Amino acid sequence: MPAVPVRPTVTLPAEEIAISAENLRHTYDRRHFALDGVGFTVRRGEVFGLLGRNGAGKSTLIKAMTTLIQPTSGTLRVLGMDPARDGQQIRQRIGVVQQAESFDFTTVEGNLNIYGVLWGLPKSERVRRREQLLSRFDLTEIRRRRAFDISGGQKRRVQVAREFMHDMEILFLDEPTVGLDVIMRRTLLDSIRAEVRRGLTVVFTTHNLEEADYLCDRVAVIDEGHILLLDEVENLKRLYGGKKTIDITVGGKDPAPFFARLPEALGGGSSVRTNASSAVILTDDPKQALATIVELSRSLGVQIEWLNVRTNTLEDVFLRSVRHREGENGAA
Amino acid sequence: MALPNLLRLIYRNIIVNTDPGSLVILVGLPGMYLVFFGFGFQSLAGGSASGTSYLSFLTPGIMAFQVVMAGTVGGSMLWADRRWGMLAQLLSGPFTRLEYLLGIMLTSMAFGLGGSLVMLGVAFVLIGSIPTHAFALAVIFGTIVVGSIFFGAMMLLLAALVKSNTAYNSIQILLIFVVNFASTVFYPLSSRLPLVLRVLFEVNPLTYVADAVRGGYTGSLDLTDGYQLVVLLVETTIVLAFAVRAYLRSDLSYE
Is the same domain home to A61 and A143? yes
Task: Report CB contact under 8 Å: B88, A67.
Answer: no
- Write out the DSSP string of B167-220: HHHHHHHHHHHHHHHTSSSSS---TTS-HHHHHHHHH-HHHHHHHHHHHHHHT-
What pLDDT score does A1 carry?
Answer: 43
Is the same domain home to A76 and A147? yes
Is the same domain home to A159 and A222? yes
Q: How many angstroms separate the CA atoms of A136 and A188, rounded?
A: 9
Q: What is the DSSP letter of B91?
A: H
Q: Structural domain tally of chain A?
A: 2
Q: How many angstroms separate the CA atoms of A211 and A223, rounded?
A: 19
Rg of chain A (C-alpha set): 23
Listed in sequence order, the residues at least 6 apart from B182 whose beta carbon sits closer than 8 Å to its beta carbon are B197, B200, B201, B204
* β-bridge partners, A35: A26
Q: Provide the residue type at A140 as one letter.
A: T
Measured between CB atoms, which of B16, B92, B94 is closest to A119? B94
Residues of B in contact with A102 (CB under 8 A): 84-86, 88-89
Q: Which of A74-83, A177-186, B77-86, B193-202 has the lowest mean pLDDT?
A: A177-186
Q: How far is A59 from chain B (nearest CA, A)?
A: 12
Q: How far is A97 from chain B (nearest CA, A)?
A: 8
Would residue A46 be called left, alpha or beta, if left means φ above 0 and alpha means ψ between -120 and 50 degrees?
beta
B50: pLDDT strictly greater than 60: no
CB A45 within 8 A of CB A199: yes
Per residue in B163-192, pLDDT (tens digit) is 888 898 899 999 999 999 999 999 888 888
CATH value at residue A99: 3.40.50.300
Residues A61-70: b if buried by 16+ CB within 10 A, e if exposed: bbbbbbbbbe
Q: How far is B87 from chain A (nearest CA, A)?
A: 8
Measured CA distances, A277 to A281, A322, B5 (Å): 13, 22, 59
- Classify residue A231: in a domain, yes or no: yes
The dihedral through the CA atoms of B32, B38, B39, B40 has a sign that is positive
| Structural domain of B90 | 5-249
Q: How many angstroms separate the CA atoms of B63 and B175, rounded?
A: 18
What pLDDT score does A328 carry?
Answer: 64
What pLDDT score does B124 carry?
Answer: 85
Q: Which of A186, A217, A236 is the last residue of a domain?
A: A236
Q: How many angstroms separate the CA atoms of A284 and A242, rounded?
A: 7
Measured between CB atoms, which of B2, B88, B96 is closest to A120? B2
Is the same domain home to A130 and A43? yes
Specify which of A199-208, B145-154, B215-224 reaches the highest per-range mean pLDDT. B145-154
CA A50 to chain centroid, in Å, comes to: 4
Pair type for strands A226-232 and A201-206 = unpaired
Is the same domain home to A46 and A83? yes
Is the same domain home to A279 and A176? no
Pair type for strands A201-206 and A170-174 = parallel
| Structural domain of A133 | 14-236
Interface of A with B (CB under 8 A): 66-68, 87-88, 91-92, 94, 96, 98, 100-106, 110, 114, 117-122, 172
What mean pLDDT is predicted for residues B74-82? 89
Q: How many angstroms separate the CA atoms of B235 and B179, rounded?
A: 15
What pLDDT score does A4 carry?
Answer: 39
Q: How many angstroms separate the CA atoms of A139 and B178, rounded?
A: 46
Most A CBs within 10 A among B82, B86, B92, B251, hence the mutation to make, goes to B92
Q: How far is B168 from chain A (nearest CA, A)?
A: 18
B195: pLDDT strictly greater than 70: yes
Hey, how many other C-beta atoms are within 10 angstroms of the C-beta on A237?
17
Measured between CB atoms, which of B2, B3, B252 is closest to A68? B252
- Classify residue A330: in a domain, yes or no: no
Is the same domain home to A139 and A226? yes
- Classify residue B70: in a domain, yes or no: yes
CB B87 within 8 A of CB B81: yes
- Classify residue A167: in a domain, yes or no: yes
Q: How far is A187 from chain B (nearest CA, A)?
A: 23
Per residue in B233-249, pLDDT (tens digit) is 999 999 999 999 998 88
Residues of A in contact with B88 (CB under 8 A): 68, 98, 100, 102
Most A CBs within 10 A among B14, B89, B99, B249, hence the mutation to make, goes to B89
Average pLDDT, chain B: 87
What's phi and psi for A173, nearest 5 deg? -120, 110
3 state SS of A76: strand
Q: Which of A236, A255, A276 is the last residue of a domain?
A: A236
Task: Report CB contact under 8 Å: A103, B85.
Answer: yes
pLDDT tens for the 332 residues of chain A, in order: 444 355 555 577 778 899 999 999 999 888 888 899 999 999 999 999 998 888 888 889 999 999 999 999 999 999 999 999 999 999 999 999 988 889 998 999 999 999 999 999 999 999 999 999 999 888 999 999 998 899 888 898 899 999 999 999 999 999 888 878 888 888 888 888 888 998 999 999 987 777 888 899 999 988 888 898 898 887 777 766 567 888 899 887 688 888 888 888 888 777 788 877 888 888 878 888 899 999 998 888 888 888 888 877 777 777 777 776 666 665 54
Is the same domain home to A48 and A94? yes
Residues of A in contact with B16 (CB under 8 A): 104-106, 114
Task: Report CB contact under 8 Å: A106, B89.
Answer: no
Pair type for strands A278-283 and A244-252 = antiparallel
- Classify residue A253: in a domain, yes or no: yes
- Classify residue B255: in a domain, yes or no: no
- Classify residue A326: in a domain, yes or no: no
Q: Structural domain tally of chain B?
A: 1
What pLDDT score does B29 carry?
Answer: 83
- Classify residue A318: in a domain, yes or no: no
What pLDDT score does A2 carry?
Answer: 43
- Classify residue A180: in a domain, yes or no: yes
Per residue in B96-124, pLDDT (tens digit) is 999 999 999 999 999 999 989 988 888 88
Residues of A in contact with B96 (CB under 8 A): 87-88
* β-bridge partners, A248: A279, A307
Interface of B with A (CB under 8 A): 2-3, 8-9, 11-12, 15-16, 19, 80, 84-86, 88-96, 252-253, 255
Looking at per-residue pLDDT, the higher value among A167 and B132 belongs to A167
Length of chain A: 332
Measured CA distances, A36 to A52, A58, A106, A238, A317 (Å): 14, 12, 40, 27, 22
What mean pLDDT is predicted for residues B40-46? 75
Residues of B in contact with A101 (CB under 8 A): 84-85
Task: Report CB contact under 8 Å: B88, A100.
Answer: yes
Q: How far is A152 from chain B (nearest CA, A)?
A: 14
CB A39 within 8 A of CB A64: no
Q: How many angstroms separate the CA atoms of A177 and A195, rounded?
A: 17
Is the same domain home to A107 and A212? yes
Hey, how many other C-beta atoms are within 10 angstroms of the C-beta on B123?
23
Q: What is the DSSP letter of B132?
A: -
- Write out the DSSP string of B48-63: -TT-HHHHHHHHHHHH
What's phi and psi for A42, nearest 5 deg? -105, 125
CATH value at residue A247: 3.30.70.270
* Residue A196 exposed, middle or buried by CB count within 10 Å (0-12, 13-18, 19+): middle
Q: Which of A182-186, B3-7, B251-255 has the lowest mean pLDDT?
A: B251-255
Measured between CB atoms, which of B3, B85, B96 is closest to A88? B96
What pLDDT score does A6 carry?
Answer: 57
- Classify residue B254: in a domain, yes or no: no
Task: Report CB contact under 8 Å: B85, A120.
Answer: no
Is the same domain home to A139 and A27? yes
Is the same domain home to A28 and A93? yes
Pseudo-torsion of CA B52, B57, B60, B63, nearest 10°?
-70
- Write out the DSSP string of A248-272: EEEEES--HHHHHHHHHHH-TTEEE
Q: How many angstroms separate the CA atoms of B29 and B39, rounded?
A: 15
Is the same domain home to A127 and A263? no
